[in-house]
Amino acid sequence: MPRLCLLALTLLATELPNDFPSAPAKWHHEITSTRMANYKPDEHLIVSLISTGEAGKDAVIHHMMAVRVDQWGKSFSDQKEFPDKQGREMLTITLFETDIRSEMKADFNHVVYEHGKIVLRFSGTTILQR
């Protein structure tokens, strides 16, 4: 009997995801790091972009910001106002060294405000290449 119940639960669990409709996300986020030629060894330019559409097909970048980070463990941020003064966007990034020399941990927060309200926010922790 326990084996039959386990088999039934296994079959049920493998079928559930197929029973729910899904749709692609409207907004996509990408965060990358790069080093410019004149940067010191531990300086990085972090670029965060928010887009719609499908990459390589009909993607459109709606919001893009870059922050130059030159110190581990310190929060760096930048913000810009929209031309119509009805909104702004802000990117905050903190980089941390990792045990793997070719990687770094990034805590980030990219927020878009319109009319004083948050309309988009991508935030989290990820691993970036140095």
pLDDT at 6 over 80: no
pTM: predicted TM-score of the whole model, two decimal places: 0.76
The pLDDT score that the predictor gives to residue 16 is 52
Domain that holds residue 81: 23-129
Residue 12 lies in a domain: no
**Cβ(77)–Cβ(93) below 8 Å:** yes
Residue 18 lies in a domain: no
Residue 40 lies in a domain: yes
How far is C-alpha 116 from the chain's CA centre?
22
Residue 67 lies in a domain: yes
Q: Give the residue with greater pLDDT, 9 vs 128.
A: 128
Residue 50 lies in a domain: yes
Buried b (16+ CB within 10 A) or exposed e, 27-46: ebbebebeeeeeeeeeebeb
For 102-127, write each residue's pLDDT tens digit. Answer: 999 999 999 999 888 999 999 999 99
The pLDDT score that the predictor gives to residue 108 is 96
Give me the number of domains the chain comprises. 1
For 53-106, write each residue's pLDDT tens digit. Answer: 777 777 788 889 999 999 999 999 999 998 876 899 999 999 999 999 999 999
pLDDT at 37 over 80: yes
pLDDT at 41 over 90: no
Q: Which two tokens stand for residue 7?
A: 């088999």
Residue 36 lies in a domain: yes
Residue 101 lies in a domain: yes
Residue 59 lies in a domain: yes
